[in-house]
Amino acid sequence: MAIIKTINGKGPIFGKDCFLAENAVIVGEVEMGNQCSVWYSAVIRGDVHSIKIGNKVNIQDNATVHATYLKSPTNIGNNVSIAHNAVVHGCTIHDNVLIGIGAIILDDAIIESHCVVAAGAVVTKGMHLTKGGVYAGIPAKRVKEIDENLLDGEINRIANNYIKYASWYK
């Protein structure tokens, strides 16, 4: 069973049909929607500020979701994939977003809907990634536009596949 802890009187709240890997860690003020999954060695630490996670969100192996004390909460929309080893910290991610393997999203960044943050990209403090783009590099820059192939073939496919993968473990 996942490590689930209440910190300072605030504990995680989970929606329906969520999968939590046995060594996932979810602590503090975390609110998670329906059909979410938190995979092996992923950490969601709502100990210093709130973390709100929508529906159909997958937080893959070794990813970290955190916030900044009394300053920057983390808000994640619906249909979001946070890939292996990514760091999501004190930022806002809107609906239908893919955060690539090893990407880093820092405090007060905003990622609008229908975006892909490429593997290894760094979204620095306060950056605003506008709707419908693919962002890559350090710091992240818009490198192309999202088309239907990327939206359906990557963003939606991965989010839907993780619901299927989670069903294998239940």
Q: Each residue of 86-103: pLDDT tens digit?
A: 999 999 999 999 999 999
pLDDT for 12: 98
- Would you call 38 exposed, middle or buried from its count of C-beta atoms within 10 A (0-12, 13-18, 19+)? buried
Hey, what CATH class is 3-169 in? Answer: mainly beta
Does residue 13 have a pLDDT over 90?
yes
- Would you call 6 exposed, middle or buried from its count of C-beta atoms within 10 A (0-12, 13-18, 19+)? exposed
According to DSSP, the residues that pair with 76 across neighbouring strands are 53, 93
Does residue 82 have a pLDDT over 90?
yes
The structure tokens 């893959």 sit at 60
pLDDT for 148: 87
Quick one: average pLDDT of 21-27? 98
Does residue 150 have a pLDDT over 90?
no
The pLDDT-based confidence of 170 (bands split at 50, 70, 90) is confident
